[in-house]
Amino acid sequence: MKIPCELIVWYVLPSIRRELARELVDRHHLSQAEVARRFGVTDAAISQYLKAKRGTSKEIENSGRYDEFKKEVEQAAVRILNGSDIVTETCRICEMVKRSGMLVKVYEIHTGLKAPQCVCPEFECDKADLTG
């Protein structure tokens, strides 16, 4: 059985990195080397994110919340360019994934099981539309 935190490590965080890298390179014209420096990874890792060889997740894309996820990434990229750091913005996006109910969907898609309460505290899930 997968623990929800495993899904964050294996699917959510790589997807966040991939989308942030794509946003910073494609939309904001940072070099791969600059993005790699800011992320603390190699140029090759950024190249793999950009070529969709790393960080792709059908569970994320099919969660029903992908547009909201992408919008959060776009906003995070702007904040990074304005001085915010990668860690802060990655955590902010990860919190959005949990708060919105997206992690619940990823868990259910990946495992075929109902998500445990720790994935989305009841008071938060009650606020989220989990039907999307």
Residue 4: band (very low, low, confident or very high) from pLDDT cuts 50, 70, 90: confident
pLDDT tens sequence across 53-72: 887 777 788 778 889 999 99
Q: pLDDT confidence of 110, banded at 50, 70, 90?
A: confident
Helix, strand, coil tally for the chain in percent (to 5) = 70, 0, 30
What pLDDT sits at residue 131?
44
Q: What is the pLDDT of residue 63?
A: 78
Q: Return the higher-pLDDT residue of 127 and 8.
A: 8
Going by C-beta distance under 8 Å and a sequence separation of 6 or more, which residues neighbour residue 117? none
132's tokens: 């999307």
pLDDT band for position 105 (cuts 50, 70, 90) = confident
The pair of structure tokens assigned to 93 is 């996006």
pLDDT at 89 > cutoff 50: yes
Boundaries of every domain in the chain: 4-125
For 14-31, the pLDDT digits (tens) are: 999 999 999 999 999 999
